[in-house]
Structure 1
Amino acid sequence: MKRTVLVRNARVAAMGAVAVLLVVAGVWSSWASAQHVLLSKGREHGTLTVTGCTEEMCSGRFVPEDRGSSRSTVVIARSVAVAKGRTLPVVVKPGTDEAVRTGWAGGLHAWLPLGGALLLASLVIGGGLRMTRTAWSSAALGGALLLGTFFAL
């Protein structure tokens, strides 16, 4: 009897730790880009016209909003939404020439890893913790974030 309770509690603790780890990793991964979109006050804003792409990065002509900037080109991470010839509103990461897309599309794209983490965590929550309502809520939130990003881009 005591062994069964011990095993059940160990399973719940392990699955809870895995679910929390997944969500924390999703937030951590998302925050690397999301901080520049959400906390963009005082940062360099402008538009990027994509002129060329490599396997991982795209570069292009940068037109700053304040016209006081000395930079004329910036790079942005390549994604399905970044194509040659597109003009995107961006904010430049401080101290670099790397830009991040702004607005709703940029904000949702920045939180995309969290959406995937919520979907993965929902499997652990439902299967390992047997918390079906919480699992469905996590899956719905993650799925909504992924679909919102898809339609915004």
Structure 2
Amino acid sequence: MKKIIVATFFFIGFLAYSQNSQAQAQIGGGLVFGFDIGTVGINVRGDIPVTDEIDVVPGFIYYFESNINIFEVNANGHYNFDAGDTVQPYALAGLNISHFSYDTEILGFGIEADGTDVGLNLGGGINFDLGGISAFAEGRLLLGGFEDFSLTGGVLFPIGN
């Protein structure tokens, strides 16, 4: 699993360095609420323009659950709709790798479990240009073994040129 996370961040760096679009790559994050999981998490993501309409958006989510370790690695594509300069709605689709693990004790017996699953992300959101930084709000449905609906909001900061 660590190899997948490291490879994802190397891929982010490569795309940010080699992107040719006039739009600027961004990095940032925010808060996530997973409705089926029932807990809050943090989101770290990149936003790498490939064309005027398409962005590659890799990300990592860690949920704050007291007894269970839950995290996701996401590789999404955003299709940006032309709506003006300040507000940018988008549709998203992509791949998700979710992992959970826990270690607890019940009646003196230690219980350990973990699992990893691959799923599909579908959803949409809106980017708001705030003059130098961007804010975003997004809804995402995760289809697969770890099915969930989540809402995410946060900020993105420009990187590079």
TM-score (ref. length: structure 1): 0.24
Taking structure 2 as the reference length, the TM-score comes to 0.23
Asked which structure has the greater RCO (Cα within 8 Å, sep 6+), the reply is 1
Larger radius of gyration: 1
Pick the structure with more helix per residue: 1
